[in-house]
Amino acid sequence: MDPTYKCLEFSVDDHGIARVHLNRPDLHNRFDEPLHSEFAALLLHVWGRTDIRVMIISAEGRSFSAGGDMEMMLRQNGDKGMRDRIAWEAKMVFEVLTGLSFPVVAAVQGAAIGLGATIATLCDIVVAWEDAKIADPHVQLGLVAGDGGIISWSQSIGLNRAKRYLFTGERITGRKAYELGLVTDLVDTPEAARPEAERIAALIAALPRSGVEGTKKAFARLTQHLAGPVFELGLAYEMEAMGGTEVREAVEGLLRKAK
């Protein structure tokens, strides 16, 4: 029996389609401590499963994910033990999501920001609403884009364009992301993202397993090759920055503005 989760829904049907659905729309599916831990645990749960042929990641509400939680960042700022734990979870998310033996399809019906954008763009296929906002604004908080964004953006749109958007944190629309190559499939409405992801997943699930899995493993090797000298260094830089004064001041300023 599959475990139950508080921050997301998980199921696998008889066709081998696994579904991960972030279900806290009131919090814009932000990756606070509970969701960050649950998502890492879920990926470890599906690692090596032979009954899954393809997986869909989707979300409830207006946002795919608003990214990291500001209060959580403040707690990390003053707690190295917490930073170490979060870094380990981030490493698991990256390594498992990019190393799974089956394809992963993201259904981006709304804003995908920060870690939300990283998770979406680390998927093999990205279906997005044309007006969804996509951004990795780590640098705007004094952070390093070390949780995987450097890899996913560089692999999708090229090194120079990845630098352009990760050095500024500027938001782009789903349509712009599609034109750049960050998004693979575009839909006209938020409601159409999940059905289109389901359609693509069904196509994949109906194909012979050996061809799909072998192709996925070969693609995964490309990502691992790109990530090899970069990911752990970037993540270490991010955690170092997370404990600094610039991050604390930036986050405290945003929280004051929000209140």
- Residue 64: partners with Cβ closer than 8 Å, 6 or more residues away: 22, 29, 58, 106, 107, 108, 109, 110, 111, 112, 116, 120, 132
Does residue 242 lie in a domain region?
yes
Q: Which two tokens stand for residue 71?
A: 């209060």
Does residue 199 lie in a domain region?
no
Domain count, the chain: 1
**pLDDT tens digit sequence for 217-234:** 999 999 999 898 899 999
CA distance 21 to 245: 35
Please give the DSSP secondary-structure letter assigned to residue 68.
B
Does residue 202 lie in a domain region?
no
Domain range enclosing 128: 8-193+208-258
CA distance 132 to 28: 13
Give the torsion sign (CA, 81, 87, 88, 93).
positive
CA distance 22 to 34: 12
Q: What is the CATH number of the domain that holds 100?
A: 3.90.226.10
**pLDDT tens digit sequence for 135-157:** 999 999 999 999 899 999 999 99
Does residue 2 lie in a domain region?
no
pLDDT of residue 147: 87
Does residue 233 lie in a domain region?
yes
CA distance 160 to 151: 12
pLDDT of residue 255: 85
- Residue 242: partners with Cβ closer than 8 Å, 6 or more residues away: 73, 76, 77, 83, 143
**E-strand spans in the chain?**
8-12, 17-22, 54-59, 63-65, 104-108, 111-113, 125-129, 133-135, 172-173, 185-187
Band of pLDDT at residue 259, cut at 50, 70 and 90? confident
Does residue 174 lie in a domain region?
yes
* Average pLDDT for 208-218: 97
Band of pLDDT at residue 180, cut at 50, 70 and 90? very high
Looking at this protein, which amino acid is placed at residue 241?
A
| Mean per-residue pLDDT over the chain, rounded | 96
Does residue 1 lie in a domain region?
no
**pLDDT tens digit sequence for 101-139:** 999 999 999 999 999 999 999 999 999 999 999 999 999
Band of pLDDT at residue 179, cut at 50, 70 and 90? very high
* Average pLDDT for 43-52: 95
Does residue 198 lie in a domain region?
no
